[in-house]
């Protein structure tokens, strides 16, 4: 274990693999893990690297277990570098303990190795060699759930003055500049219920929602060509229609679950209004409520990131997954997504990150911090 309890001399060479081997032993998955112990550990490291200010904050969650973030300020930050602390729960079929790092074939295997503790290790290793100027380092929790930590940070005074952000996710060290949003909603229909012999006279909640489901599907089909190239369509998914207890009982309640993935540039509020209007027209007796409204993401000024990311900013890629970059851009902070690892390894058993990408990520952050 590497000790960072004392202030370090900038220029110390630290292996990001060794750092990552420690970070993955902290259980921070959203179900059984806790983020605060890792946040405290990182705060100690950041103080050792000579940050002007380090704060650790807990943010309430609906589940009752707090999310945490740690923020370090170097100067007056205009650039933010962010990686998330939390992971998904361990998937089934891991071949070994997901919280014990294993190195084999040029890869480090552990939960969170790619998503995104590998990026955190690279950032920390870079800080040992270069003190950034006017930069904030944010390690935030709850990214895999409801993003309450990032939302709390953006609502705090700490975000004042920040113009650009590097949001770390596994992109194989390429600059991700666009991705879809994701939103979900539920529609409920109720009725008196009763004996099926009365089905011709009593309302059917399932039939009401089935008609609405068809109308929503028709809307989605009419929007299949909407959106920029590579992101056409709304990806509306009729995920679930349930209700009832037996073949001879008219249900008193039914529920329709729907999601959609709006393309970059789309207005989530406008789409929501369209879908609510369809529900009012087709099924006026129903109630509709949104359970998630994550906006799409698009980098506004990629050229401004070239001094930070070098060649990576000249070869941008589109992303197939949502990131908190969308929250930053919505708050007026331009962002790109960048980090070691491949999204194909994230959230699955035997997650891994390539060791050479960890070292390359450290070099990119060193160059960034040196300016």
The region that residue 227 occupies, defined by phi over 0 for left and psi between -120 and 50 for alpha, beta otherwise, is left
* Cα angle: 51, vertex 165, 371; to 5 degrees: 60
Give the tokens for residue 100: 């014990």
CB contact set of 157 (below 8 Å; sequence gap of 6+) = none
Q: Quote the tokens at residue 360.
A: 């390359």
Q: Which phi and psi (to 5°) does residue 177 adopt?
A: -125, -5
Judging by DSSP bridges, how do beta strands 297-298 and 164-167 pair with one another?
unpaired
| Contact status, residue 288 vs residue 186, Cβ threshold 8 Å | yes
Concerning whether 143 is annotated as a catalytic residue, the answer is: yes
Please, how many CA atoms are within 13 Å of residue 233, restricted to the half-sphere of its CB? 10
Based on its alpha-carbon atoms, the radius of gyration of the chain, rounded to whole angstroms, reads 23
Give the active site residue among 35, 129, 143, 357.
143
Q: At what angle do helices 16-23 and 118-127 cross, to 10 degrees?
A: 130
What residue has token string 């006279």?
201
Burial group, residue 266, by CB count within 10 angstroms (0-12, 13-18, 19+): buried
As given in the structure block, the two tokens for residue 217 are 């599907």
| Residues marked as catalytic | 143
């Amino acid at each position: 274990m590497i000790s960072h309890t004392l202030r370090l001399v900038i220029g110390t060479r630290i292996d990001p693999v060794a750092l990552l081997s420690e970070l993955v032993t902290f259980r921070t998955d959203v179900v059984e893990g806790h983020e605060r112990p890792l946040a405290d550990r990182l705060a100690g490291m950041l103080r050792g690297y000579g940050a002007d200010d380090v704060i650790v904050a807990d943010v309430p969650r609906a589940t009752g277990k707090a999310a945490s973030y740690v923020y370090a300020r170097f100067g007056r930050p205009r650039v933010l570098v962010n990686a998330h602390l939390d992971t998904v729960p361990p998937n089934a079929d891991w071949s070994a303990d997901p919280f014990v790092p294993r190195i084999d074939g040029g890869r480090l295997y552990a939960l969170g190795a790619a998503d995104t503790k590998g990026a955190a290790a690279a950032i920390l290793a870079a800080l040992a060699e270069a003190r950034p100027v006017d930069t904030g380092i944010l390690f935030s929790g709850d990214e895999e759930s409801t993003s309450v930590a990032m939302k709390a940070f953006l609502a705090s005074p700490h975000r004042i003055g920040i113009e650009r952000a590097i949001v770390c996710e596994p992109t194989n060290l390429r600059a991700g500049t666009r991705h879809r949003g994701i939103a979900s909603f539920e529609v409920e229909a109720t009725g008196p219920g009763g004996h099926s012999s009365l089905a011709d006279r009593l309302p059917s909640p399932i039939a009401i929602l089935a008609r609405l489901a068809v109308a929503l599907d028709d809307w989605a089909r009419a929007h299949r060509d909407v959106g920029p190239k590579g992101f056409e369509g709304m990806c509306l998914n009729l995920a679930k229609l349930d209700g009832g207890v037996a073949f001879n009982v008219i249900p008193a309640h039914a529920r329709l679950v729907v999601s959609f993935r709006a393309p970059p540039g789309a207005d989530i509020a406008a789409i929501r209004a369209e879908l609510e209007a369809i529900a009012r027209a087709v099924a006026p007796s129903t109630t509709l409520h949104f359970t998630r409204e994550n906006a799409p993401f698009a980098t506004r000024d990629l050229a401004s990131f070239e001094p930070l990311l070098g060649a990576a900013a000249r070869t941008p890629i589109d992303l197939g997954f949502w990131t908190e970059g969308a929250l930053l851009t919505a708050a007026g902070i331009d962002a790109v997504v960048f980090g070691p690892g491949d999204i194909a390894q994230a959230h699955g058993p035997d997650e891994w990150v390539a060791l050479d990408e960890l070292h390359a990520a450290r070099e990119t952050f060193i160059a960034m911090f040196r300016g």
